[in-house]
Amino acid sequence: MRARDLMTAPVITVQPWTSAKEAAELLSMHGFTALPVIDDDDHLIGIVTEADLIRGRIPVDPRHAHEHRDHPAAANTVGDLMTSPVTAMSTGTDVSDLCQALVDARIRAMPIVDGSAVVGIVTRGDIVRVLAREDTEIARDVKHRLEIYGGGGRWKIDVRDGYVHIVDQYNDDTDRHVAQLLALAVPGVVAADTAYAGEEQHR
């Protein structure tokens, strides 16, 4: 499974001069955790997160103001708050590599780019939702893709905890390889293998 298979697209972006208030409204409205920041040429230059927007935005309770004498003035634009430069990954990135990058960098969202243009975003929540997909949903999607490729009634599909086993009625190594690749592209698939029905019957 690749980044393109589970990214949110099109992605909502902001620019450095977008107000912090407007960015917060966008996050709240859409339930996002982060917004990629782009320049005039639509190139990715940063990312602004919930944490960035919260920091310093809530006024100090006047009853405790003496404890916060050096409280900094709140930043007003995304450019004041964003993280830059920002890590991004391509649409063809393997989701396992993307997961590792999210964990290693301790970030919750990864912008997905095609060249230097932002085309989507993947969050930890997106990955958790994919991992939680029911086997019956996964089997239905795999079956649909295989029927488009090789016709109906040809494939027997078994899915257990995201592991897909495909049995082909025909003994064609190339088709089975393609079937495996098609299955691996389905969200929720952890691994996939294939077999020829004739060999399965002799086991």
Q: Tell me the CATH number at 17.
A: 3.10.580.10
If asked whether residues 73 and 140 sit together in one domain, one would say: no
If asked whether residues 73 and 159 sit together in one domain, one would say: no
Can the peptide bond before residue 85 be classed as cis, meaning omega within 30 degrees of 0? yes
Please identify, among 97, 131, 165, the residue that sits at the C-terminal boundary of a domain: 131
Name residue, tokens 């310093």: 56
If asked whether residues 54 and 126 sit together in one domain, one would say: yes
Note the pLDDT tens digit of each residue in 180-197. 999 998 988 889 999 998
Note the pLDDT tens digit of each residue in 66-119. 554 444 455 689 999 998 888 899 999 988 899 989 888 888 899 999 988 899
If asked whether residues 144 and 119 sit together in one domain, one would say: no
Domain range holding 170? Answer: 135-201
What's the pTM? Answer: 0.67
Domain count of the fold of the chain: 2
Instruction: Enter the tokens of residue 28.
Output: 């709240």
Rounded Cα–Cα distance for residues 195 and 200 (Å): 7
If asked whether residues 75 and 107 sit together in one domain, one would say: yes
For the chain, give the mean pLDDT: 86
If asked whether residues 118 and 176 sit together in one domain, one would say: no
If asked whether residues 118 and 19 sit together in one domain, one would say: yes
Contact by Cβ (8 Å): 26, 35 = yes
CATH of the domain at 140: 3.30.1340.30
pLDDT exceeds cutoff 90 at 17: yes
Mean local confidence (pLDDT), 47-67: 69
pLDDT band, very low/low/confident/very high, at 129 (cuts 50, 70, 90): confident
pLDDT band, very low/low/confident/very high, at 58 (cuts 50, 70, 90): low
If asked whether residues 124 and 152 sit together in one domain, one would say: no
Q: Is 179 exposed, middle or buried (0-12, 13-18, 19+ CB in 10 A)?
A: buried
Please identify, among 82, 102, 131, the residue that sits at the C-terminal boundary of a domain: 131
pLDDT band, very low/low/confident/very high, at 140 (cuts 50, 70, 90): very high
Please identify, among 131, 157, 181, the residue that sits at the C-terminal boundary of a domain: 131
